[in-house]
Structure 1
């Protein structure tokens, strides 16, 4: 099943968090590039977490551009595996970071927060030194 379908199933109460995270990690996502001198990937900070924007396809990215009132410009993006985004990019971000997928889709968006099972343990905000890895859960947020 593709990521958008897994998100839909999860939001409808039929999904499995482990399967959703697995599909997220396998999916090729479109991460728009930020404007400005610093470059990098487009993101926003909310609740003390930097959320990297990612989209399942060009149509989802176009809905995001439209929602921002910026559909008339070119939107360069990086095609990247979800696993690479959380395993290689998130550790480079200063402070907690997660991934916001399809944020302009009211019924199809999903947040993958900086918690164990999604991001590397060193970047997870929910890991205490005394917590066993088997006691962790997947923290996806619809």
Structure 2
């Protein structure tokens, strides 16, 4: 039916829209940060890529994401670092470098603030977990 087809098209559009109803400056800044989080000048360049003033971008980030561009970048870097920490055997120093941290200590401090545990404990816990055994069903 036409109603079902329209609904299916709506679901498709919503599902495939990268970030619906978001400000273009915020989207451009976020995408720049995601693609260049290792770069030391990532924040400055993201603000330039956003195409709006620093104060406008700061206001828009607070309004849409509930945080500042700077805090968003550090959270993004920390989350990427946590992913590398649990999924790879890279050293903390290598992870810190790949994610744009000033030092391994800085990465460790951000991880501890976000997760409440040092990177070593997070890795140990992630690597110690084994998939739960589920017996075959008859």
> TM-score scaled to structure 1, two decimals?
0.26
Point out the structure with the larger helix share. 2
> TM-score scaled to structure 2, two decimals?
0.26
Determine which structure has more spread, i.e. the larger CA radius of gyration. Answer: 2
